[in-house]
Amino acid sequence: MIKLASLALCHAVLSFSNFQALAAVTNTSKAGLAWPNGNYVDIKQFLSTEKVSWYYTWGPWPIEADIEFVPMLWGSDQVSQFNSSIDGTVSKQHVTAVLGMNEPQQSTQSNLTPSQGAEIWTQYIQPLHGKGLRLGTPAPTSAPDGKTWIQEFMSLCANCTIDFVALHWYDVNATAFQEYIEDFYNTFHLPIWVTEWACQNFNNVDDQCSYEDIQQFLAQTQSFMDNASYVERYAWFGAMENLQGVNPDDALMTSSGKINELGVQYIGGNATVILSGISSVRLDPTCNLRTLQFTVIFTVVTSLLLYFA
């Protein structure tokens, strides 16, 4: 009696909220957040589906978050901050991997020759292999010199323990993206982390993706990476209020830091989340799983109390 009654109530709550059953979210661990927002923006908005499992901050500084932090050594200006904090971060946080320098072949970014890159990497990143961390290459842009930079870096860092290749990609063609990633994998035979990518035309700034193009591009590139066994992790650009020159329609949040429709798409909110023991539901962008669970439990308990009163 009681069991049937509470089950009926759960169904009532679920159908009242107009949820629909769909297929489950899978391959939940690859998606990450490139996060420049500190604790100022609530990262929990992106964690309700559990599709996002890690984040990085372009530096050695973690924020308050319940997902895995990946420290990064951005460039030569960051070495002393990185070196003085990394041991503490590794012992206090759940750290499994570390990222190398940011866009080394760009003069406005970390601006390093492959030789300078190999030197910094050997001095500050290589020792972390001994702490059990997996080590990533510097992440070049998708300009033509990106791949050659990594090739030269690899030959100069021949004794380095490189576990994965990190890279960035900005352009507008999802098929070209896929071919680029496949080419990197076929060249280096290492797992790939795409630590920045977006639908953004840097070759012709007057010809940017429409919002629909972006939704389509994100869907196609993300499902390609979820399916490709050699793509280990990825982080879209970007989860930030201001995209700093990249097409603002690529933002995963509003200008006031609230997850938006593209953000919901990124975290798999259009697919289904398994609500343990109750049912399979569609996660509405405005519905937080915990709120839903609370509502269900609250309704059941209240009904039972009323039943026995």
Ligand X SMILES: *[C@@H]1O[C@H](CO)[C@@H](O)[C@H](O)[C@H]1NC(C)=O
Task: Decide: is 22 part of the binding site for ligand X (CB under 6 A).
Answer: no
Contact with ligand X (CB under 6 A): which of 81, 116, 215, 303? 215
If you write DSSP's letter for every residue of 154-197 in order, what string do you get?
Answer: HHHTTTS---BEEEEEEES-HHHHHHHHHHHHHHH-S-EEEEEE
Q: How far apart are CA 114 and CA 97, in angstroms?
A: 21
**Binding marks (x or -) toward ligand X, 49..88, rule CB under 6 A?**
----------------------------------xx--x-
Which is closer to ligand X, CB of 108 or CB of 229?
A: 229
Residue 139 in tokens: 């992440």
Contact with ligand X (CB under 6 A): which of 9, 63, 190, 219? 219
Which is closer to ligand X, CB of 148 or CB of 161?
A: 161
Which is closer to ligand X, CB of 65 or CB of 181?
A: 181
Among candidate residues 299, 268, 306, the one with its CA nearest the CA of residue 14: 299
**Residues 6+ away with beta carbon under 8 Å from 212:** none
Task: Decide: is 211 part of the binding site for ligand X (CB under 6 A).
Answer: no
Shortest CB 2 distance to ligand X, Å: 38
Q: Chain-centre distance of CA 272, in angstroms?
A: 19
Sole residue written with tokens 């060249």: 187
Binders of ligand X in range 90-149 (CB under 6 A) = none
Do the beta carbons of residue 249 and residue 211 sit within 8 Å? Answer: yes
Contact with ligand X (CB under 6 A): which of 7, 21, 176, 301? 176
Which is closer to ligand X, CB of 95 or CB of 296?
A: 95
Task: Decide: is 232 part of the binding site for ligand X (CB under 6 A).
Answer: no
Helix (H) or strand (E) holding 117: helix 114-120
Residue 101's CB is within 10 A of a number of other CB atoms, namely 29
One-letter amino acid of 16:
F
Shortest CB 152 distance to ligand X, Å: 12
Using CB under 6 A as the binding criterion, the count of chain residues that bind ligand X stands at: 20
Shortest CB 306 distance to ligand X, Å: 37
Among candidate residues 87, 161, 164, the one with its CA nearest the CA of residue 129: 161
Q: How far apart are CA 79 and CA 92, in angstroms?
A: 20
Contact with ligand X (CB under 6 A): which of 103, 226, 232, 250? 226
b/e code 118-133 from CB counts within 10 Å (16+ = b): bebbeebbbebeeeeb
Task: Decide: is 185 part of the binding site for ligand X (CB under 6 A).
Answer: no
Candidates 68-76, 97-105, 189-197, 220-228 — which segment interacts with ligand X by CB under 6 A? 220-228
Q: Which residues bind ligand X (CB under 6 A)?
A: 26-27, 83-84, 87, 158-159, 173, 175-176, 179, 215, 219, 224, 226-227, 229, 261, 265, 270
